[in-house]
Amino acid sequence: MREAMMFLFVLCLWAGFTEADNLKYKDPKQPLNVRIKDLMKRMTLEEKVGQMTQIERKIASPDIMKNYFIGSVLSGGGSVPAPKASIESWVNMVNDLQKGALSTRLGIPMIYGIDAVHGHNNVDPDLLKRIGAATALEVRATGIQYAFSPCIAVCRDPRWGRCYESYSEDHKIVQAMTEIIPGLQGDLPANSAKGVPFVSPGKTKVAGCAKHFVGDGGTINGIDENNTMIDYKGLYSIHMPAYFDSVRKGVATVMVSYSSWNGNKMHANRDLVTGFLKDKLKFRGFVISDWQGIDRITSPPHANYSYSVQAGVLAGIDMIMLPETFTDFTNELLAQVKKNIIPMSRIDDAVKRILRVKFVMGLFEDPLADLSLANQLGSREHRELAREAVRKSLVLLKNGKVASQPLLPLPKKAPKILVAGSHADNLGYQCGGWTVEWQGVQGNDQIVGTTILQAIKNTVDPSTNVVYKDNPDANFVKTNGFSYAIVVVGEAPYAEMFGDSTNLSIIDPGPSTIKNVCAAVKCIVVVVSGRPVVMEPYIAQIDALVAAWLPGTEGQGVADALFGDYAFTGKLARTWFKSVNQLPMNVGDSHYDPLFPFGFGLTTKPTKGN
């Protein structure tokens, strides 16, 4: 009896080892396709549907991760563990959800995504790659492994509320700026197969996301989520080229656009999502919907959800972003597969792609976050990099009312100077949308950084008296003996459709501030905006004009160029119009008559010690 029990014990032990040996998907030495195939054959339909489901942090919990086999979680704009959450709070939250995912029968790790939208992006490809690398470190520092970046839209109309997320109206510039992808993900190995996603294993890189596929920057009148009316040749020559580069550089994911192409919703466009992106470009990462993107296939949204699920999944969307509720989707998809409305082959294609990204990233080997990168968050090196990006993205549009008498660079030593304008001392305005909250914030309370006013004070000679007044009247300016004035005005923060604008004007009291100041003293106007705005009515009054875009936290980069510590070198990546009545107007158009043309930008020379 004793011998029999011993034999049974050994048999069970051997069986356990054999089963472990057969878990090829857990063996990092196995080829990628072997791991995917091994895991796929072990998965139930419910587990596969769970992998295709991305839910918002607010409705996620370890139990939900476990019970529904959830494949991904995201933070929408402003969705945080707690107000002013610490890095520990972020890491603990992500790890708690990850542990829920790992506690499932197969232990498939989840991937956590977040938007990483940056305000200053009109810069050179090498600098953008370094920005991508810094972004990856800061995202991973919070435990998050997936950034919904870059936006490779080609903005053809600045009235569009997402224009600042786009690099240019010119697809060639947008193509060059896909160099942020190896910054985020790591450099693609030389022997990589075409279209296969690549993310360096470890905790210093994130999965990227090329978005929004395709044509989102070409909608009629720049209306967000609207219709892009363009022929086949135009779509492929203007809006598609950056996707060639993104796929070639191993981008892990592609997000589908809310917009339509010639009346057909992109979230339901099988010809482009599957036929072109997956089949022709050989993209092997996964395709993700936008926030409630399949709901919006119908108008009104969610009106015929069965159709939306069928159309979106059959179009080729692999992961569905379901921020508010997810059981409607999972139940509907399960039912449609069981009724053979959606074939199992489509589900398997989606899950293989999701698993491919997770395996490539090394999530199965190293799924949990730690605090090892805590010192990267807001580090001095990253702030210096942001400052460099600010000064290199500045565009000097006017320098002196007479070209032979430039006003910039400014003298640091002056008896008394005026700094005015609603944007001079406002970090929220400097950063724009997608900062702290989805629509951004105002003021300096919630953001750590350097305002343009503080940067000016940091830069001028200690003997110079810097006077700040938000909106001075003309008499104040005339009677105070200022050597010169710096007026900082622009747009208020916005994101997506809330930024759609038919007038593209700077906010009040900006126009009166320009008039009151520039009529009385030599003035430099710095425009803080996500796009070109109406400046033609003021241009004659202004001595010098600088487009600062959305410089973010590092206002010191603006002062670096204003006072000659560094040169102005930036060029316009988009046309600066005279009147909104000209729009849309892009370089090459027959009616092209800009205030400042695409590619324009005056230069200066640095003057150390002025």
**Pairing status of strand 395-399 against strand 544-549:** antiparallel
Backbone dihedral angles phi then psi of residue 295, each to the nearest 5 degrees: -55, -35
What does each C-alpha distance from 214 to 231, 276, 294, 415, 480 come to in angstroms?
Answer: 13, 11, 15, 54, 54
Residue 261 β-bridge partners: 228, 264
Let me know the angle formed at the C-alpha of 583 by 577 and 586, rounded to the nearest 5 degrees.
70
Token output for 7: 């034999």
Concatenated DSSP letters of 107-161: -PPPEEEE----S---S-HHHHHHHHHHHHHHHHHTT--EE---B--B---TTST
In terms of C-beta density within 10 A (0-12 exposed, 13-18 middle, 19 or more buried), how is residue 300 classed? Answer: exposed
Residue that has been written with the tokens 């990253």 in this structure:
382
CB 407 within 8 A of CB 399: yes
**Nearest Cα to Cα of residue 53 among 40, 41, 37, 67:** 67
In terms of C-beta density within 10 A (0-12 exposed, 13-18 middle, 19 or more buried), how is residue 83 classed? Answer: exposed
1 Cβ partners below 8 Å, 6+ apart? none
Backbone dihedral angles phi then psi of residue 180, each to the nearest 5 degrees: -65, -25
Q: How far apart are CA 231 and CA 239, in angstroms?
A: 11
* Half-sphere exposure in the Cβ direction for 79 (13 Å, CA): 20
What sign has the CA pseudo-torsion 337, 339, 344, 350?
A: negative
Active-site residue, selected from the candidate residues 224, 496, 500, 543: 496
Q: How far apart are CA 355 and CA 36, in angstroms?
A: 7
Residue 274 is given by DSSP the state I
What does each C-alpha distance from 182 to 165, 376, 579 come to in angstroms?
Answer: 19, 19, 39
What sign has the CA pseudo-torsion 292, 145, 83, 211?
A: negative
Q: How far apart are CA 494 and CA 434, in angstroms?
A: 8
Q: How far apart are CA 537 and CA 542, in angstroms?
A: 10
Q: How far apart are CA 81 and CA 83, in angstroms?
A: 7
Active site residue 496: yes
Query: With b meaning 16 or more CB within 10 Å and e meaning fewer, what string describes 572-600?
Result: bbbbbbbebeebbbbeeeeeeebbbebeb
SS3 state at 246: helix
**Nearest Cα to Cα of residue 254 among 238, 272, 236:** 272
Active-site residue, selected from the candidate residues 47, 157, 169, 290: 290
Q: Which helix (H) or strand (E) holds 398?
A: strand 395-399
Q: How far is CA 114 from the centre of its chain?
A: 9
In terms of C-beta density within 10 A (0-12 exposed, 13-18 middle, 19 or more buried), how is residue 499 classed? Answer: buried
> Which of the residues are catalytic?
290, 496
